[in-house]
Amino acid sequence: MEIRTGKIIKWDRDGCTVFVPFDGAGAERAALRQYDTVEVGLPDGRTIMPEQRMKAYALMGEIAEWSGHTPTEVKLIHKWEFVNNHLAGLHKALFSLSDCDVTTAREFISYLIDFIIEFGVPTKRPLSELCDDIQRYVYACLTHKVCCICGKPACVHHCGITDEHASNKIGMGGNRKTQIHEGLIVMPLCWGVGSHHNEAHQIEQEAFEAKYHIGGIPATKEICKAWGLKCLAE
């Protein structure tokens, strides 16, 4: 593979046009090798924000306290894991939290939160306050069946319905077993006396979401299958 730097010279709704300059020998080599596909990297020109840096270090600190590793060890381990297994193609390069781009920081924070949810790492602050992508965070909580507010075992709370579906909430008289859930707006909330699920049913949904700065997401086929819920016909 030959890597060269180009420049985007045109954007439209169908994509972008990239100009890659070649010297004489480079052009001949490209023609000889009959390149017909390219891998395009779109680097984010924005630099990591202080708030993102704070979130990343706070999350790694929680992992360090839980695992017994030093913060430096956690930082090294998880940066390498993130680069090797969660970045693709041209982006596979070790990065620095002092000057990486906003997108890399956002993805790294999401990776750390996914790790914390998967392994049940206790945190002093709610993960909803530390995440950089709230929808991805709610999705991770749904797939791991933990409350997106407190991290306890969860049930599916139905926030509302998309325009393509019926207008009544499930859980308020609807049948969970027969209703198609794919496309319904859901979030995972803990259940029982004094639970967030009970609270969500006692106040308006908008007020509940505003209180915790969180919202539901449309149930995908993957979410439905994880919970044993009905999907749209294939």
DSSP 104-122: HHHHHHHHHHHHHHHHT--
Spatial neighbors of 232 by CB under 8 A, at least 6 apart, are: 180, 182, 183, 221
**Residue 52 and residue 104 in contact, taking contact as beta carbons nearer than 8 Å:** no
Tell me the C-alpha distance between 40 and 114, whole Å: 27
pTM: 0.75
**Residue 141 and residue 188 in contact, taking contact as beta carbons nearer than 8 Å:** yes
Output the pLDDT for position 190. 96
Tell me the C-alpha distance between 193 and 201, whole Å: 12
Could you read off the pLDDT of 123-167 as tens digits, one per residue? Answer: 999 999 999 999 999 999 999 999 999 999 999 999 864 444 434
Output the pLDDT for position 168. 39
Report domain extents, the chain.
Answer: 1-40, 45-132, 154-234
Output the pLDDT for position 193. 87
Which residue stretches of the chain have pLDDT < 50? Answer: 161-170, 172-173
Output the pLDDT for position 25. 63
